Homo-oligomer: A and B are copies of this chain.
Amino acid sequence: MKKAPTLEDVAREAGVSTASVSRYLNMPDLVRPLRKEKIEAAIAALGYVPHGAARALASQRTHTIGAVIPTFDNAIFARGVQSFQRRLHADSFTLLLASFDYDLEDEVRQVDALLTRGVDALLLVGCMHSPKIYERLDKKGLPYVHTWAFDRSGAKPCVGFDNRLAARRAASYLIDIGHSAVAMIAGITGGNDRASERAAGVREALEERGLALLPEYYIEKPYDVSEGRSAMRQLLAQDVPPTAVICGNDVLALGALLECQARGVSVPRDISITGFDDLPLTSHLQPSLTTLHVPAGEMGRRAAEYLLARLGDVPMPDSTELEVGLIVRGTTAPPGRQK
């Protein structure tokens, strides 16, 4: 393992001071063209690559932004993160990604790890986090942003959407087309404000219309197709099955739909199903899935822009609410079509 060339080596090779090379690297405009060329030549000749840690130590800036997400294993996070990273990269920032498997205590550890790595800013998923996280962040005065949720109080910087409102939209739609026996297959709500807000939204919407979300019509399941299936099986086995099922995400909805098909229950004739996320796959299903479109890509991009702006002291509103539109497709229809 040969020793890598340092900035000092470059300076010597180019016959200039280290300060000039440093300037060339960071503020090229302050260096005269002639010197510039010499430095460029030296860098190329030596194959010099800047040493990030040294740079970070000296400048107290890492040009790195962290994101702490529940899991990589979820298409919808993947999409958002992908565009978050793309946007950061455009400003030559690097993304440091960590996941915590929905374990809120582990999330604290992951945040600590990222702070140790010296991230300049942080993206968080959801608005519900251990107070310890805010403590650490605020203590360092580190910019951060919440995503995949929206805090109406305005107390927290958010680039996201209102999960409750979106879920209400799905529920209202079903009620509007005539459903009253509405069930919900929710994601696990413990420690997950996206999931719990969605559940709350459905409950609210029903109650406002004089309906109720019956206990036997409410099931929580982990994010997995087979869990969606088993939940639907449970619902179908009841004396009076629901005529519509709102799912907390598309994966559960897909499971629910597949279960119906496996049992010869016709969708949407016998039962309506809605999802949440609008995964690319859902529009191709037969019937195609009625769902809520989450603008994950835009959210990732905007979250990046918010953090970049904060780091650059560019003014920018602390909250950006994005729309979650209901995409009505083939899995929903008025009830009572049973002959």
Contact = CB atoms under 8 A, between A and B. Distances in A.
Report, as a range, how many residues of chain A touch the other chain: 35 or more
Copies of the polypeptide in the assembly: 2
Contact of A116 (B2, B50, B255): B50
A139 interface: yes
Nearest to A255: B284
A73 B78 contact: yes
A196 interface: no
A89 to B, nearest CB: 8
A258 B286 contact: yes
Contacts of A56: 52-53
B286 A49 contact: no
B53 A57 contact: yes
Contacts of A53: 52-54, 56-57, 62, 118
A82 B78 contact: no
A78 B75 CA distance: 8
A79 interface: yes
Interface centre among A2, A47, A53, A99 (most CB of B within 10 A): A53
Interface stretch (A90-98, A210-218, A236-244, A319-327): A90-98
A1 B140 contact: yes
Given A1-B140, A140-B1, A224 B280 contact: yes
Contacts of A99: 82, 85
A113 B54 CA distance: 14
Interface in A236-283: 254-255, 258, 261-262, 280-281
A305 interface: no
Nearest to A113: B94
B51 A54 contact: no
Contact of A117 (B47, B64, B85, B139): B64
Contacts of A280: 224-226
A69 B289 CA distance: 31
Contacts of A16: none
A298 interface: no
A258 B280 CA distance: 13
Interface in A120-146: 135-136, 139-141
A54 B56 CA distance: 8
Given A1-B141, A224-B280, 11 more contacts: A2-B140, A52-B116, A72-B81, A85-B99, A94-B117, A96-B97, A225-B281, A225-B284, A229-B284, A254-B284, A261-B286
13 contacts: A2-B140, A49-B136, A50-B116, A52-B53, A52-B117, A53-B53, A53-B57, A53-B118, A64-B117, A72-B81, A94-B117, A96-B96, A258-B284
